A = this chain, B = another copy of it.
Amino acid sequence: MYNKINSDDISVLRSIVGDSEVLVGDSISEDYSHDELGDVKKMPDVLVRVHTTEEVSAVMKHAWARSIPVTVRGSGTGLVGAAVPIEGGILLETTKMNKILSLDKNNLSVTVQPGVLLMELAAFAEENDFLYPPDPGEKSATIGGNISTNAGGMRAVKYGVTRDYVRALTVVMPNGDILNLGATVAKNSSGYSLKDLIIGSEGTLAIICEAVLKLLPLPKVSVSLLVPFPDMKTAIEAVPKIIRSKIIPTAIEYMSRDTILFSESYLGKKFPDTKNDAYILLTFDGNSDAQVAADMNTVAELCLEIGAKDAYIVDTDERKKAVWSARGAFLEAIKASTTEMDECDVVVPVDKVDAFIKYTHELADELKIRIPSFGHAGDGNLHVYICRDELSESDWRSTLKLCFDRMYEKAESLGGLVSGEHGIGYAKKEFLKKQLGDAQILLMQGIKKVFDEKNILNPGKICF
């Protein structure tokens, strides 16, 4: 079905991107065989580092003609194996396409290459007094990866997700064609939204080579509030009440004492408060000090009425750093607390978060494993980690399978979905199939065939 890479292919690839950007065999680091978490592993036959849209197009024209599979990789921070070249072939790395190409102040937009890191874009926007609102936890992910998973992040409560900020994309099709989708405009009713199909398609339909992203004026004020609760149930139950109060915080995160302690130990840094079982961390932003303070006070008082133990304003630089660096380290900290882990990032309606977390606790008791979690209480997207700890390989496999089956069933029964922002990739395919059913999977397979008749682009992901 696919052709193996031969020495002629290597010559052609070298002629396209330059000798030093084509690596084969032992010269490819083992890192390229997997992503940040998944135990999905496979080495590519060749690693190709691209610099321009034209190079991507030339590589794809060759791969298409020769039926060689191609998998695109950004920073490799994914968690579901989407960037693992499970059929071998070419691994096409976009990290050198890392230029911020232009800032359009009249249209509040920025044009970037896909290898720009989220943290670079965020800093660039802020330096220019703008905000790029999507704020996923993994700041060293590439923008191409963020678009490919429709990443959400912490500010989705107020600002929405990556999809809401993509105005236009330049993509290279599996056959090498270069297409421009969308435009630097705020409205579009010009045929099927191919751009919205590419967003969240995890590198299976086309290769993102340029993106025009919407920016907002940088809010003048942004303050966080850390609210400790006696237990997780009370903490999480506060969230729909906050939302019903008609105040929209920028972010509402939840965290348990356990997770905070892992993070203290991992970072070697103290968190402002670890006396309580559960915490919510809120951010408020706006252009008026008075309005932001009033919103924050209303929410603080509401939380205290509900049973919060306190409400700390996170306003000093020191406290901001302590709180947000801890929040940023949760995944790594949990990882460091165990021998191996896997994760589930279901999304459920906001008023079902409590029920889902409660269920993970019951499951942990029943299966005798640890299932720490943290996440986006304000938008229903949870990051739940199943820890192997001392389990044998076979017990770990069977427990993990059972645990996943039960959690995804529970999420579905609560009106939720398999993934809020990490995607499906390779690792979550069976759960997606189970939830969506044959008709939707057949539609996705049909769409994939329309874009990629030869199935050379990131084969074996999402719906195949």
Contacts and interface: CB of A to CB of B under 8 A. Distances in A.
B447 A108 contact: no
As for how many copies of this chain the complex holds, the number is: 2
A153 to B, nearest CB: 9
A105 interface: yes
Interface in A418-454: 418-424, 432, 435-436, 439-441, 443-444, 446-451
Contacts of A183: 347, 349, 415-417
A243 B108 CA distance: 8
Interface of A: 104-108, 129, 149-152, 156-157, 160-161, 163-164, 173, 177, 179, 181-194, 196-197, 199-201, 205, 216-218, 240, 243-244, 246-248, 286-288, 290-291, 345, 347-351, 376, 379-381, 415-424, 432, 435-436, 439-441, 443-444, 446-451, 462-463
Nearest to A183: B417
B185 A420 contact: yes
Contact of A191 (B104, B422, B440): B440
B151 A185 contact: no
A191 to B, nearest CB: 5
B149 A161 contact: no
B192 A444 contact: yes
Contact of A291 (B182, B291, B348): B291
Contact of A347 (B105, B185, B288): B185
A397 to B, nearest CB: 24
A13 B441 CA distance: 30
B184 A415 contact: yes
Nearest to A168: B415
A381 B187 contact: yes
Nearest to A220: B246
A38 B454 CA distance: 41
A119 B104 CA distance: 35
Nearest to A435: B190
Given A217-B246, A240-B106, A463-B191, A185 B379 contact: yes
A380 B189 CA distance: 13
7 contacts: A106-B351, A150-B189, A160-B186, A187-B420, A190-B432, A192-B200, A217-B248
A193 B196 CA distance: 7
Contacts of A350: 106-107, 186
* 4 nearest CB pairs, A to B: A446-B450, A217-B246, A196-B196, A187-B420
Contacts of A449: 446, 450
B349 A462 contact: no
A417 B192 contact: no
